Structure 1
Amino acid sequence: MTTLQSDNGAGDACAVPPHGERLRRPSRLRSLHLGETKVTYLPDGAVQLSPRGWLPDTHDDTWADHPEYLDDTGNLAAGIGALLVEHGDRALLIDAGFGPQALPAEPGNPHGAIHGGALLDSLTAAGRTPQDIEAVAFTHLHIDHLGWTRHPAPGGGRVFSQADYLVAQPEWAQRHLLHAHGTTADMLKALAPHVRTVTDGQEIFPGLRVQFLPGHTPGHTAYVLTTDGQRLIAFGDALHSPVQIAHPAWSAASDHDPAQAAGFRRRLITELAEPGTVGFGVHFADVVFGQVRQDEDGRPHWHPADTWPGIPT
């Protein structure tokens, strides 16, 4: 079996920050190699998530017991970005960040301030250009995942000018339901000429297949990369924080169908615990790549893949 390798920038090999500290900040650019395929998290921005507001089944006592997940403002730190998947000369993005904009915190909103704008710089740092991207595969059509696909490039035109936009067929068929979460008809109209719908199990890139994972939205989708006996599951917003790994019943305030989301989340966590499997959580603070392992308390927990000693065979 090919060894999982990490490529996390100068200085990382000298001193990996403590796991707890990484839970309190958004991730920087991080890469893993699975066989001949390289995956890279491309930061675009960040959002603060109110712990009680975003996970409404929790209580004050919950967060008193889990202070390690809260930043200095008392919020869950969540990054916003995309996953670059490279195989030889080919390149694909999973999601497209928030885009070059910022929104302030608003009273009563389960999320606080949110901003984007760094994705294209992150793509350059990874050695790619927007024109290299053959497709953008969306996990779902919320605005913090549409990002740069709904903003024009400097001088006009599409940022990812060569890319198809891949959307799960159930998500596109029920796209009108997303208006409640800020995805407007005008946004969808602009996407439409470039959308290609995909089906459950379809291979969209070498070794990369669609896996329907509804609940957060009607057609929410994961993408599963399988290569050389290893597997990566990019699970989108099925999970928003590593704390949910041990508490799959905790659905997010923005989940379209909380009960359905919790059911699929339990199945997902079981899959993530299988040997040879690593997960990618786009909003998972600075632990975006990780593995599910059972700790001494008997519950599953998230362990950063770049600090875990390889994937067991």
Structure 2
Amino acid sequence: MNDSRLRRPSAVRTLRVGALKVSYVPDGAMLLKPAGPLPAAVDRHWPRYGAYLNDTRRLVANTGALLVEDGARALLIDAGFGPRAVPEDPAHPHRGAVHGGALPGNLALLGRAPEEIETVAFTHLHADHIGWACVEPPLFGRAAYVVPKEEWDHRGPEAAALEPRARLVLAGDEVFPGVHALALPGHTPGHTGFVISSRGTRLLAFGDALLSPLQIRHPEWSAGGDDDPAQSERHRRRLIAELRRPDTLGFGVHFADVVFGRVAPHADGAVWCPL
């Protein structure tokens, strides 16, 4: 893997999944304190994995969305952080700086206007995944908001803006042609991925079930922000097994400049191979 890609955020990236066009739509970047996403790694393993840290010893991550296009129809998975920025919190063990704002411009680069998005589906309801769905006036004027039922049942006040257009779904439900919900709880109670399938190929958009490619090599490393670390690890291992199938690609929204990839066998178990 090219180490420099691990230390920069991703630009717009596009690939095909069968007949579907799938694009990463950047909204901004995050600089995460390594003690948050990978707490078990801090003392013993960072000398080995220092390539994942930038010059300020932060993990570079993205905030953004995944655009799925089927001809004239368009789905967005997650909605970035929105038009704002938050500085690093020195007193918090893992909250780093986050800035958004680029999603509408990057949708335009991809030839899509926000009003063309018919559905926005959320992996979970954290602020860096619902940002542009909560702005006034609404950015996605025609879209339905697909929310996992278990996640909605545990929602906080920040999700109130979604309620008028919320449509609740369960694991296995189809949210868009070829796109089905996949339960991956642990990071939050209703955390959900989405399986995008067409013509014998599939892509798993797994949200925050994996925050760093390092968790593929070390699935026992749960994030400091996981609601249920044991459950998160259990589903992470199941997810990694699915990603090892030869017909399967993965999308990690927070994976720096390696958002799309495959999981391959490795002496240590498995490894992320970016596209």
Q: TM-score range by the shorter chain?
A: over 0.9
**SS of alignment partner, residue 217 of structure 1:** coil
The 3-state SS of whatever aligns with 1:219 is coil
Q: Which whole-Å CA distance do the structure 1 matches of 2:38 and 2:185 have between them?
A: 18
Q: Is 1:225 aligned to 2:196, yes or no? A: yes
Alignment of 1:91-110 (within 5 A): 91-109=74-92, 110=94
- Tell me, yes or no, if the aligned pair for 2:217 and 2:268 is still in contact at 8 Å: no
Question: Match of 2:263, SS?
Answer: strand
CA distance in 2, matches of 1:62, 1:241: 14
Partner of 2:269: 299
SS in structure 1 at match of 2:30: strand
User: In the aligned structure 2, how far is the partner of 1:56 from the partner of 1:66?
Assistant: 13
Do the aligned residues in 1 keep the contact of 2:37 with 2:212 (CA within 8 Å)?
no
For 1:156-208, what per-residue CA distance to the aligned partner results, in whole angstroms no more than 9, with x for missing partners?
A: x31000001000011111214xxxxxxxx1x3222111100011101111110
Structure 2: 5+ residue stretches without partners: none
Which structure would you say has the larger Rg?
1
1:117 paired to 2:101? yes
Deviation of 1:36 after TM superposition, in Å, equals: 1.2
**Residue 54 of structure 1 contacts residue 111 of structure 1 at CA under 8 Å; is this kept in 2?**
no
1:59, distance to aligned residue in structure 2 (A): 2.8
In the other structure, the counterpart of 2:205 is: 234
Q: Do the aligned residues in 1 keep the contact of 2:18 with 2:197 (CA within 8 Å)? A: no
- For 2:210 and 2:160, the matched residues in 1 are separated by 28
User: Distance in 2 between the 1:189 and 1:102 partners?
Assistant: 21
1:171 is aligned to: 151
- The alignment's TM-score, normalised by the length of structure 1, stands at 0.86
RMSD: 1.0
Output one character per residue of 1:74-107: Cα deviation in whole Å (capped at 9) or x when no partner: 1111011000000011001000000010011111
CA distance in 2, matches of 1:138, 1:226: 18
CA shift, 1:111, in A, is: 2.5
Residue identity in the other structure for 1:290: G
Tell me, which stretches of 5 or more residues in structure 1 are unaligned?
A: 1-17, 177-184, 306-313
Task: Output the CA distance in 1 between the equivalents of 2:169 and 2:247.
Answer: 26
Corresponding residue for residue 162 of structure 1: 142
2:99 matched to 1:128? no
Letter paired with 2:126: H
Structure 1 counterpart of 2:52, from 48, 53, 69: 69
In structure 1, what residue type is equivalent to 2:269?
R
Local SS of the residue matching 1:47: strand
Q: Aligned to 2:3, what secondary structure does the other structure show?
A: helix
Distance 2:234 2:7 in 1: 27
Q: Is 1:278 the equivalent of 2:249?
A: yes
**Is 1:56 the equivalent of 2:31?**
no
**Counterpart Cα distance in 2 of 1:50 and 1:243:** 15
3-state SS of 2:41 partner: coil
Instruction: State the distance in 2 between where 1:127 and 1:285 align.
Output: 24
When normalised by structure 2's length, the TM-score is 0.97
Post-superposition offset of 1:55: 1.7
Measured after TM superposition, the shift of residue 298 of structure 1 is: 4.0
State the identity %: 54
AA at the equivalent of 2:255: F
Contact 1:97 1:144 in 2 (8 A): yes
1:90 corresponds to which residue? 73
Runs of 4+ in 1 over 3 A off after TM superposition: none
Q: Do the aligned residues in 2 keep the contact of 1:218 with 1:256 (CA within 8 Å)?
A: yes
Alignment coverage as a number of residue pairs: 274
- Per-residue CA deviation, residues 226-250 of structure 1 (Å, 9 max, x unaligned), is 1111110000000000011000010
